[in-house]
Structure 1
Amino acid sequence: HRGCSLEDLAGPWKVGAQASAALLAGSTEAILTPLERAQTLLQHRHFNGHFAHTWDVMKKLRPLGVREYYRGLVPILLRNGPSSVLFFTLRGPVRDVIPAKPSRFWDVLRDFVSGAVLGATISTVFFPINVAKSVMQAQLGGKFPGVVETIRRVKQERGGWRGVFRGVHINYTRSLVSWGIINSTYEILGDLLGVDAAA
């Protein structure tokens, strides 16, 4: 008797298993929220000179309580989990849209292009949530506003949705390259290890 693997599943069950695994993987990354919080504070111009490095941020957040380390956790969960589900359930179908050719180079190119386009599109869709995360994590102390409230405030301060999406082209370009590399590397490693990465 052997356990059930992803290859044994078919149809909706397989998609469900992929979605569940992606959701758990994306959500697990939220454990690193304190480090993302420290990065945001170190990069924010308002705190230039206030923090020396990551561990200095951690030390200075301590008097504000554990909750302060996890400021911005909700948008991270809303971004990471669903975006991982979308990426890992759609990357196969998106790849299949590109015609196949009997060439290893073409296979890698298909993986790169499908990963790049899908990753950049998902990243753009979730961009307002990422903006909310950055704004929330740039706050030191005080109340903990929700995601919707934060997006609404950013929209008002920046004069509409166009302001909320300020910088989206940079985010899109970065995602285009990084997700293309991630997806093609994922497939190459799957082949080297003898695992059906597309399963």
Structure 2
Amino acid sequence: MKQLTLHHHTHHGRQKIMSCECDKKEMSEGDLLDRTCLGEGSVALPVGRAGLHQHWKEFVCGGGSAFCNILISYPLNKLIFRQMMHGVETTFALNQLQKEGLGFLYRGMLPPLMQRSLSMSLMFGVYDECLQPILERKVNPYVAKTFAGVVAGCVEATLMPFERLQTLLIHPKYHNKFRNTAHAASHIAKHYGIKEFYRGLVPILFRNGPSNAMFFVIRDEVRIRLPQQERAVYTGLQNFLAGATIGALLSTMFYPLNVIKIAMQCELGGPHRTVKYEFNYILRKRGSKFINFYHGAVLNISRAFLSWGIINASYEVFRKFLYS
């Protein structure tokens, strides 16, 4: 990806090297928004479409960050899943996991590991591929980023069979039915067909598109305003906190859609119910109080904070390593 490196001196004539500190105020808001700041100790601003030979690096960065995230946060994610599924308190869900034992703690990790690794690669890659041509046509940067984010989210949704398999493998009633990911996938394909892999697609589309768009817009706004750090440890901490805060906020906003998605995907076979039907069913089941959709939300905030902090910080580490 072609980039402009920022140095701490004044802008000279038509030179393409600019000072972030000196020139930020002189740049229009549109100019600032047109650039995605990717920190590598100093801030780097893309000025054109990345060459094809560079694209694999972005995919590796996204996939590597997702791998680190899943490996660390999966047990917490499983605990939150139990609360979403049963609407129970943290201590009850924790006792369930303790009774099942350590052998089941990482059961079902392969689907999210594969799904998240591919998903993060697509999220950043497709977003950039969509964004640059739109910005070249002088479209409003907010509109361009929103559109590119929604497209990236929809492309990510093609990976939802991994989420579908994870839900079945985590659910206690399927512990004795499916041995592993491959067994669950072959069983569904043989007895229910391809459509069953995409049960719960609509809430995933409603979640992915808007949340991706908001993530990229907010991320760029934050990066424009954050100070540059000279020490790598402070840069890493800043990247972690920025990603963690944005991720926790968006995850909380779209939490009810995840509850609906899980409720849909806990079923194997039978009719494919609508989002409206599932929403009303869960609402009645939980005492007709919308706040009860947020069982497990506190832990979800913790998980999202940790996950997106790891993703953002490790992405920058991978990127610095590959581009150095």
Instruction: With the length of structure 1 as denominator, give the TM-score of the two structures.
Output: 0.83
Cα shift at 1:59: 2.3
- Change in 2 beyond 3 A, CA 1:154/1:189: same
| 1:36-185 equivalences in 2 (<5 Å) | 36-62=163-189, 63-96=191-224, 98-159=226-287, 160-185=289-314
- Change in 2 beyond 3 A, CA 1:186/1:82: same
Say which is worse superposed, 59-68 or 115-124, in terms of deviation. Answer: 59-68
2:306 partner letter: V
Say which is worse superposed, 180-189 or 161-170, in terms of deviation. Answer: 180-189
Q: Give the match for residue 146 of structure 2.
A: 19
The runs of at least 4 aligned residues of structure 1 exceeding 6 Å deviation read none
2:257 partner letter: I
- Change in 2 beyond 3 A, CA 1:74/1:97: same
Cα shift at 1:48: 2.4
Match 2:315 to one of 166, 177, 186: 186
Q: Percent identity?
A: 37
- Change in 2 beyond 3 A, CA 1:191/1:55: closer
Q: In 1, distance between residues paired with 2:300 and 2:136?
A: 36
Q: Give the match for residue 31 of structure 1.
A: 158
Preserved contact between residue 151 and residue 164 of structure 1 (Cα < 8 Å): no
Cα shift at 1:82: 1.5
Cα shift at 1:109: 2.3
1:142 partner letter: G
Instruction: With the length of structure 2 as denominator, give the TM-score of the two structures.
Output: 0.53
Say which is worse superposed, 120-129 or 145-154, in terms of deviation. Answer: 145-154
What are the ranges of 5 or more consecutive residues in structure 2 without an aligned counterpart?
Answer: 1-46, 50-131
Report the structure number with the largest CA radius of gyration: 2
Aligned residue pair count? 193
2:161 partner letter: P
